[in-house]
């Protein structure tokens, strides 16, 4: 519950400041003395929703490791891991249960964050299709973050190590495209293809491309598969 509270508190702060800035610029350039072409470039989606979603993605980078760190690590620490593995459940069912339990909170937080575009729809005229694509991208990003958190939690019995490992992995995938402009000719494309944020940024613009959706689904499936193998490896020891 505290995670949802913190997420909404930060989201509300970002939304309030971005909307206040947009309103301030709108008031300035609405004056007759100002250039009308500048006013035409003030887009509600670009100046409020786009930076808001990017800011919320950064918040998820911080919160998701905390949410997922106990998934398997706590079971190992308390000694209930062996009991879980000897239960009449398959490894796939155990991983699926942990996944559904862990992804529920981020999904709940994003559902609450839907109040921001609703406010804009009541008092403004945003592009609903662009907003829907952006929130779909944020949902896929949150699910991908969650599966990576489950994977790191399955490697250790220490919750702190699990959280830090997840945070480092998410940050690496978040910033891997940064050196693209200064690297060699083949490196930029590779960085962009591996970067979570590059694919997410395209969806925030309102472009729901198959390659971006496939990328997120591939990350989710791969992380769940590796989590399954990590949990199953205990039986081999």
Give tens-digit pLDDT for 219-234: 999 999 999 998 888 7
pLDDT of 81-119, one tens digit each? Answer: 777 777 788 888 889 989 998 898 888 889 888 898 888
CA atoms of 102 and 66, how far apart (whole Å):
11
Residue 220 pLDDT: 94
Q: Compute the distance between CA of residue 146 and CA of residue 60 in angstroms, rounded to an integer.
A: 9
User: Which residue stretches of the chain have pLDDT < 50?
Assistant: none
pLDDT number for residue 136? 93
b/e burial code for range 197-211 (CB count within 10 A of at least 16 → b): bbbbbbbbebeeeee
- Side-chain half-sphere of 146: how many Cα atoms within 13 Å? 22
DSSP 145-180: HHHHHHHHHTT-S-HHHHHHHHHHHHHHHHHTTGGG
What is the residue extent of each domain of the chain? 44-235
Distance between CA 21 and CA 15 in Å, rounded? 10
- pLDDT (0 to 100) of residue 235: 65
For residue 171, CA distances in Å to 17, 141, 155, 159, 174 come to 25, 13, 19, 18, 5
Per-residue b/e over 150-166, b at no fewer than 16 CB within 10 Å? bbbbbbbbebeebbebb
Per-residue confidence (pLDDT) for residue 36, from 0 to 100: 57
Dihedral of CA atoms 177, 182, 183, 189 in degrees, nearest 10, equals 40
Integer Cα distance of 175 and 160 in angstroms: 22
On the 0-12 / 13-18 / 19+ scale of CB atoms within 10 A, 187 is middle
Report CA-CA distances (Å) from 126 to 45, 74, 132, 139, 190.
6, 44, 11, 20, 34
């Amino acid at each position: 519950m505290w995670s949802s509270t913190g997420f909404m508190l930060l989201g509300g702060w970002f939304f309030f400041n971005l909307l206040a800035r947009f309103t301030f610029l709108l008031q300035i350039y609405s004056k007759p003395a100002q250039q009308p072409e500048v006013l035409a470039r003030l887009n509600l989606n670009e100046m409020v929703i786009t930076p808001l979603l990017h800011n919320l993605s950064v918040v998820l980078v911080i919160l998701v490791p905390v949410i997922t760190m106990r998934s398997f690590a706590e079971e190992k620490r308390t000694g209930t891991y062996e009991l879980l593995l000897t239960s009449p459940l398959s490894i796939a069912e155990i991983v699926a249960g942990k996944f559904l339990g862990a992804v529920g909170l981020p999904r709940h937080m994003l559902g609450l964050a839907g109040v921001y575009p609703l406010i804009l729809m009541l008092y403004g005229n945003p592009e609903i299709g662009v907003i829907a694509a952006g929130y779909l991208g944020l949902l896929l990003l949150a699910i991908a973050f969650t599966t990576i958190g489950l994977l790191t939690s399955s490697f250790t019995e220490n919750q702190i190590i699990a959280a830090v490992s997840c945070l480092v992995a998410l940050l690496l995938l978040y910033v891997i495209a940064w050196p693209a402009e200064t690297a060699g000719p083949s490196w930029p494309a590779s960085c962009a293809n591996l970067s979570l944020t590059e694919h997410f940024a395209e969806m925030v613009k309102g472009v729901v491309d198959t390659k971006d959706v496939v990328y997120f689904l591939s990350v989710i499936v791969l992380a769940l598969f590796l989590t399954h193998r990590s949990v199953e490896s205990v039986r081999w020891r």
